[in-house]
Structure 1
Amino acid sequence: MFSSIEGVLGGQENIKFWSVLDQTKGKVGFLNHHFIGTNLKYKKVILIGLDQTFSHYHAVALKLGHNLTKQREEKKLRFFNGARHILLNTIGQESMLRPENGLKELYKEISDLLEPDSFLILDNISVLTSLGFSNREVYLFLTKLSKLVDGLNSSMLSTFAQLEPDLLTYNISRNSDIHFEIQDLKTGKSKDVTGNISINRRSVCGGFSREDYQFRLEEKSVKLFPPGTSGAVL
């Protein structure tokens, strides 16, 4: 009954574009770490840290048995320090993330990091809208990136931290092969259930199917189960 993320998702060979709408108070990280750990076994991972630092990712990964510093030194992992660029932009030392200059510089930075058969992770693209970029600019940026990734026979994951979905998150979700939605429990906190997660899959004909689960974050794993079937209920 209790499943891992891998067990629920099944075969992923043909999945090119993943997206996550995080409507919780910061729980989306477990999906980022799942995809980092899974993909580092087979390919290079390009991590665009718009929200979290490399130190944060490394500290969490160590608990899960992954040494990201070693992976970075061996060039299996490449990290873009978005927080540093945001700081430099704030104090007027560079212009990469200024809305008046668009997202061309960021696109070039990411495209220079990408390689064939790699996995790109964009950590919280909502940061760009907070900096003043319009929904249209962010959508076109992601669309252009997804075409580049597809042309390199690679895949990408983009996460959004937003309590209320809007037109941008709707459009991105409709263009994703698999779209996750993560929510806190509406009934409050529980030691047995961390939150709710929905998995929306796009079919060959363009329609979507939806699977609803609850999940529990454990020290080194995540358990998924149908709503109402946690150990507390059983």
Structure 2
Amino acid sequence: MSISRTIEELYSSLLFQDKGYITSNKLVLLESPYCFSIDAGFLIHHLTAFYLKSNHKVVLVSFLNCFQHYNTIGLKLGINLASSRIEGNLTFIDCISQNKEDSTVCPLTNEANECSLSNISNCLQKLINKHQDSHHNIPLTILIDDLSSTVLLGISQIQVLDLIFSVRALLQAKLSIESSLCVLATSNGDFESTEGRLVNHLSNESDIILTVEGLPSGFSKEVHGKLIARSKRPSPVIVCYREDWHFKLEDRGVKLFPIGTASGIL
């Protein structure tokens, strides 16, 4: 029996490990420290593919990359984001482009960035309301990449958190069917920094947390980093569950190994 797993297998186990715990929506945090060797960006691509393959309607909000970047990687993971967009299964909100011809462009710039954040919030509210009216029986997932970019542009932590929690509350109020809000955020490891406080607040409120870390020993050909998977179930008391894995990034996926089983890594 193989002891390795895929990201999709691990994530499914976190979503459905406790059948007695039911929630209409989940807040999922994808976090990593600023690191030149590895980051949590690959998780956004895998979860986008995971939810589209699970027949969810998906909204991908990007503060970091253009659509073509996600589509190129999506093809390697067996999903065509361009086709999904045309078919109405994927909505891409571009927060970095200045192309006004695209109705889903909500550029976030240094100029009037607080107003732009409000525009993004309004855009998400309209999408959730539209989904409730037209596709109320289909699960909806919103993914945000990378939320830390907002505070680096000078937007206050309170306004950023208000965006996340108001969107989550709207998902809870409007959609009785399963929904998820997945947020990628990075920090410099300093809990007193703006990014550190943002990640800490999100961590406290999240149902599932996937943390990507580099290897203390540095680079390894066989293992590229460590993935810590945690989930919290608040009823009747808060129960925390944790799994630690080593991972290797491959051209068309990610391979997970139990700690201590990969050659050359303890």
Pair in the same fold by TM > 0.5: yes
Per the alignment, residue 31 of structure 2 pairs with 21
- Whether the aligned pair in 1 keeps the contact of 2:95 and 2:108 (CA below 8 Å) is no
1:59 is matched with 72
For 1:227, the aligned partner's letter is: I
The offset of 1:206, in angstroms, is 2.2
Given candidates 225, 229, 233, the residue that maps to 2:261 is 229
Deviation at 1:162, TM superposition (A): 1.6
Q: Partner letter of residue 78 of structure 2?
A: G
Q: Match of 1:177, as an amino acid? A: D
Q: List runs of 5+ in structure 1 lacking aligned partners.
A: none
Equivalence for 2:20: none
Q: In structure 1, what is the equivalent of residue 199 of structure 2?
A: 169
Which residue of 2 is the match for residue 6 of structure 1?
Answer: 8
> Cα distance 1:67–1:87, how it changes in 2: closer, same or farther (>3 A)?
closer
Letter in 1 for 2:168: S
Report how far residue 91 of structure 1 moved.
8.5
- Relative distance call for 1:11 and 1:135 in structure 2 (3 A) is closer
1:72 aligns with 2:85: yes
Question: Of residues 130, 154, 168 in structure 2, which corresponds to 1:132?
Answer: 154
Unmatched 5+ stretches in structure 2:
17-22, 99-104
Query: CA separation in 2, counterparts of 1:207 and 1:52?
Result: 36
Q: Give the Cα–Cα distance (whole angstroms) in 2 for the partners of residues 200 and 31 of structure 1.
A: 14
Q: Deviations over 1:83-134 (max 9, x none)?
A: 1159966486xx4xx23x4732220012223324211001110011011111
Alignment map for 1:35-46 (pairs within 5 Å): 35-41=47-53, 42-46=55-59
Contact 1:16 1:150 in 2 (8 A): no
Partner residue in 1 for 2:144: 122
Moved over 4 A (4+): 85-92
Which SS does the other structure have where 2:155 is aligned?
coil
Instruction: Name which of structure 1's ranges 202-211 and 6-15 shifts more when overlaid on structure 2.
Output: 6-15
Q: Once the 2 structures are TM-superposed, how far is the Cα of residue 28 of structure 1 from its aligned partner?
A: 1.7
**Residues 139-148 or 107-116, more deviating:** 107-116
Q: Report the 3-state secondary structure (helix = DSSP H, G, I; strand = E; otherwise coil) of the residue aligned with 1:16.
A: strand
Give the number of aligned pairs: 229
Question: Does structure 1 retain, via aligned residues, the 8 Å contact 2:108–2:116?
Answer: no
Counterpart contact for 1:193–1:230, Cα < 8 Å:
yes
**Counterpart for residue 122 of structure 2:** 108
Q: CA deviation at 1:192?
A: 0.6
CA distance in 2, matches of 1:212, 1:63: 26
Corresponding position of 2:219? 189
8 Å contact 1:18–1:157 — kept in the other structure?
yes
Cα offset, 1:141, TM superposition: 1.6
What letter is aligned with 1:44? Answer: K
| 3-state SS of paired residue (2:161) | helix
SS in 2 for 1:83: coil
CA shift in 2, pair 1:108/1:66, >3 Å: same
Cα 1:102–1:6 shift into 2, 3 Å: closer
How far apart are the structure 2 equivalents of 1:40 and 1:211? 25
Residue 214 of structure 1, CA deviation: 1.1
1:34 aligns with 2:59: no
CA-atom RMSD in angstroms: 2.3
Q: Which segment drifts farther, 62-71 or 81-90?
A: 81-90
